[in-house]
Structure 1
Amino acid sequence: MTEAGRERAALSAEFERVGPGVPTLCGGRTAGELLAHLLVRERRYLVSLLGIPAPSVLRAAERRMARLPWLEMIELLRTGSGGWLPGRRPTDGLEFLRLYVHHEDIRRARLGWEPRPPEVYRDDTLWHGARTLGRLAYQRSPVGVVLRRPDGESWPVRRGPRPVTVHGQPGELVVHMCRRPRVRVQAAGPPADVSAALAARPGTLFGGFAATRPPDGSGQHTTGYNEG
């Protein structure tokens, strides 16, 4: 089974465990609304594209999806998008990251959340994805941005002057780039450059919103935030 397949199974089990009414970190959605959001993007892909210029179309599709029985919705997620079937989302290489972030949207909405324990293959897959996602997340940064994981491996995702380095476990870096409000990373560089780089991230990656608390600016060279 691929990492995406494992994450899909784990997310499905998480939805089944928590039920539709719990809060998440995905744009203020409940778990039920998040699952409907996911299913529309996977199984009503053309509708989700129409929803970009016409958000009311997307909201209506999500409301219709949310009327399905809860366990039926979970089974639709568990069985996947169906590849290239008409109207369904094609595999785009970001499936694992999307599922991982939405799983974290549920986990991190709870008090006392903790990052997942390290896991070599999963973290290597996340690191590879973070390098791709980082180019999108930081494309508007006015300064350079380098990602660095705890083993010291680093990757520049934005070329530019006065590069800022964002340190963290691969999964934390992925969640951070999606501007979720609870994440554990350290951003090193002049405070003004750190603030500019972090502010440049879009607030809409994987259905999110611009809710990440800005760094506090303390210290001359290192700004970090641990939100719990």
Structure 2
Amino acid sequence: MGTHADQTSGSTPGRDFTAASRDALVEALLSAGPGRPTLCAGWNTEHLAAHIVLRENSPLVAGLLFRPLARSLHRRTMDLGDSAATPEAYQGLMERVAAGPQPPARLRRHAQAARISDEISGRIKGTGAARKAAQATNLLEFFVHTEDVRRAQDRWAPRHLADDYANALFAEFTRRARLMYRSEPTGITLARSTGQRVVARPARQGGASRTIAGPAGELVMHGFGRRDHALVLVD
């Protein structure tokens, strides 16, 4: 997509990059194949794909926030991933990732109910509010997990991100940046290669501060904890 270096610093209102980000994630998973490593400790590609499917379709996703369910979510993730270790099963799991959230199985068993559900879902997805919510929920998730696959392989290079896509990533990232850097012992300023600067953590009075500089996608990777694999400069 476009050029790797950020060229603009604005945002692109009204655009939804979630579908393209999902496509990029599926492409990366398919290209890597089953049994390949990722940057997510303990997960091969099939487990990362299982995480996406469960995140969008299982009530166990509450385990991401609710500790008592975390063990059950982890076990289900590993089981679903392990069941997709063959090329054929892996392809089926990829189709589920590509399809996105689906109605509950009990609705899908009834043709009329499934048809009504699909129609309602289609109308909801077409609204601006729904697109905004989907982007807030999935844009960074899909981008980071795509890079979790790509950057764990033997040879990789940074993707070329279109300016409007990089802008959207950075806009979503800066909404969360204070939370992500809240435990840092120093102040943190994020400096895009466009010249845009955002204070992610204010320095204490008289305290030290660091600047983390790089293109939007690399700053996202750093903020999401992939610091050994983020191409940034830390001053």
TM-score between both structures, scaled by the size of structure 1: 0.73
Are 2:25 and 2:142, in contact at CA under 8 Å, matched by a contact in 1?
Answer: yes
Q: 1:137 corresponds to which letter in structure 2?
A: M
Mapped pair 1:71 → 2:91: yes
Q: 1:141 corresponds to which letter in structure 2?
A: E
Count of residues in correspondence between the two structures:
184
Q: 1:186 corresponds to which letter in structure 2?
A: L
Structure number with higher helix proportion:
2
Please, what is the CA RMSD of the aligned residues? 2.5
Cα distance in 2 for residues equivalent to 1:73 and 1:158: 39
1:37 to 41, 51, 63: 51
TM-fit CA distance, 1:85: 11
Are 1:145 and 1:165, in contact at CA under 8 Å, matched by a contact in 2?
Answer: yes
* Identical counterparts, % of pairs: 27
Cα 1:92/1:2, change in 2 over 3 Å? closer
Residue in structure 2 matched with residue 112 of structure 1 by the alignment? 155
Cα distance in 2 for residues equivalent to 1:84 and 1:160: 48
TM-fit CA distance, 1:127: 1.1
1:125 to 168, 171, 191: 168
User: What SS does structure 2 have at the residue aligned with 1:93?
Assistant: helix
- Higher mean displacement: 143-152 or 76-85: 76-85
1:61 to 72, 76, 86: 76
Cα distance in 1 for residues equivalent to 2:93 and 2:203: 45
User: What SS does structure 2 have at the residue aligned with 1:156?
Assistant: strand
Mapped pair 1:97 → 2:143: no
Cα 1:83/1:166, change in 2 over 3 Å? farther
TM-fit CA distance, 1:112: 3.0
TM-fit CA distance, 1:84: 11
Residue in structure 1 matched with residue 182 of structure 2 by the alignment? 139
Cα 1:84/1:94, change in 2 over 3 Å? farther
TM-fit CA distance, 1:160: 2.2
Cα 1:159/1:35, change in 2 over 3 Å? same
Aligned positions of 1:204-219 closer than 5 A: none
Are 1:94 and 1:129, in contact at CA under 8 Å, matched by a contact in 2?
Answer: no
Mapped pair 1:185 → 2:185: no
Q: 1:126 corresponds to which letter in structure 2?
A: L
TM-fit CA distance, 1:104: 0.1
User: What SS does structure 1 have at the residue aligned with 2:91?
Assistant: helix
Cα distance in 2 for residues equivalent to 1:42 and 1:118: 26
Are 2:22 and 2:142, in contact at CA under 8 Å, matched by a contact in 1?
Answer: yes
Cα distance in 2 for residues equivalent to 1:187 and 1:35: 32
TM-fit CA distance, 1:10: 1.5
Residue in structure 2 matched with residue 19 of structure 1 by the alignment? 33
Q: 2:195 corresponds to which letter in structure 1?
A: G
Q: Which has the higher contact order (CA 8 A, sep 6+)?
A: 2
Gaps of 5+ in 2: 1-14, 107-132
Cα 1:2/1:179, change in 2 over 3 Å? same
- Higher mean displacement: 58-67 or 34-43: 58-67
Are 2:169 and 2:217, in contact at CA under 8 Å, matched by a contact in 1?
Answer: yes
TM-score between both structures, scaled by the size of structure 2: 0.71
User: What SS does structure 1 have at the residue aligned with 2:165?
Assistant: helix
Residue in structure 1 matched with residue 197 of structure 2 by the alignment? 154
Structure label with greater radius of gyration: 2
